Amino acid sequence: MDSFIAPNVRIFGMREGIIVEVNVADRTRLEAVVADRNSPQKHVWRARIVLLTADGLGTVEIMRRTEMSKPAVWRWQERFMAEGVDGLLRDKTRKSRIPPLSDEISAGVVALTLEDPPGETTHWTAPAMAKAVAISVSSVQRIWRKHGLQPHRIRRFKLSNDKWFAEKLRDVVGLYMDPPAHAVVLSFDEKSQIQALDRTQPGLPLKKGRCGTMTHDYKRNGTTTLFAALNVLDGSIIGQCMQRHRHQEFIRFLNVIEAKVPAGKIVHVILDNYAAHKHPKVIEWLARHPRFVFHFTPTSASWLNAVEGFFAILAKRRLKRGVFTSLVELQAAIKRFLAEHNQSPKPFAWTKDPDKIIAAVKRGHQVLDSIH
């Protein structure tokens, strides 16, 4: 018999003191939990206990229908009385059988982590720390997570020691943010040693439940070097593959730029301090082409060269997983990628304040000097 005849129903169970009040909203939520096949089973049988109680069934009949014990039926009836539907969907935490670690042990683990491990070990591992402090590995991991310690990871960095760092930085960033009128600003670099790699066995394609596969070993079919110049104003790329990256190839690429940039425009070229870029033959070429102006980035500051971002995209989208059976196939793939990029280029936008960069580099040098 269904006793749900009013918005609020009070059912007095067989046991003294059990009063289950089920209103329309509670019944709707409980029935939704039971009907949803994605609901955890523990939530389903808790909801059924309350619904059956609201329908006027006794404890024995509820036990038979839910296949639960009498203490379980009584427990969730009382929980619903005290906390409502939310109480049925939330498990109360229990005290751990293992006492928590003291603050002294946690502080000791943190202090030891900030020191070098014994012997010639390069860094602390959770098992090594657990053995040294005589606690469990999971306890070490919890302490590390709480204090934001990750001894297994390391971040790489390189601070420029160029004494003209600030001047070169402002010069390059100035070209990015405020290009001169009637001029072209090109960010130039070479991506050398691009390998035409072929796999020893064909891989399997991606499918549901399995990622794509690729053999760990490969066949080398030669290398090429991509000379590329990014037009900062419109984002287009001037690129050409060459076998080597000496000053001869650099001059040949400068001639390509000379042919493609409209006459009458000054060409500002941003490039790094590679020796081939300062070769006497290159200096002679510049003297014969006065519209070209070189702007060198600070040493150890390749991140300042905008074309590096294009190289990263090229490597990620075309080279990293590419399979090339010959050098010609590799060069053709790069050429197609350049053409696709130039169909819808985007202007390069520099956003970082140069004063903040200079201040960060100064802080980095100060920290290194104080430690070492």
Tell me the per-residue pLDDT of 119-131, one tens digit each, with 9 for 90 and over.
Answer: 888 999 999 999 9
Q: Are 118 and 190 within one domain? A: no
Looking at residue 13, its pLDDT comes to 45
Is 176 among the domain residues? yes
Of 250, 252, 193, 251, the residue nearest 224 (C-alpha): 193
Q: Are 84 and 132 within one domain? A: no
Residue 301 belongs to what domain range?
Answer: 166-365
pLDDT digit string, tens, across residues 77-99 = 888 888 888 888 888 777 777 78
Q: Are 197 and 124 within one domain? A: no
Is 265 among the domain residues? yes
CATH number at residue 256: 3.30.420.10
Domain boundary among 88, 113, 135: 88
Is 68 among the domain residues? yes
CB under 8 Å, gap of 24 or more: what pairs does 57-66 form?
A: 58/13, 58/14, 59/13, 59/14, 59/15
Average pLDDT, the chain: 88
Q: Are 233 and 283 within one domain? A: yes
Is 14 among the domain residues? yes
pLDDT digit string, tens, across residues 315-330 = 999 999 889 999 999 9
pTM score of the predicted model: 0.69
Q: Are 232 and 270 within one domain? A: yes
Contact 175, 348 (CB under 8 A): no
Q: Are 359 and 232 within one domain? A: yes
Q: Are 332 and 197 within one domain? A: yes
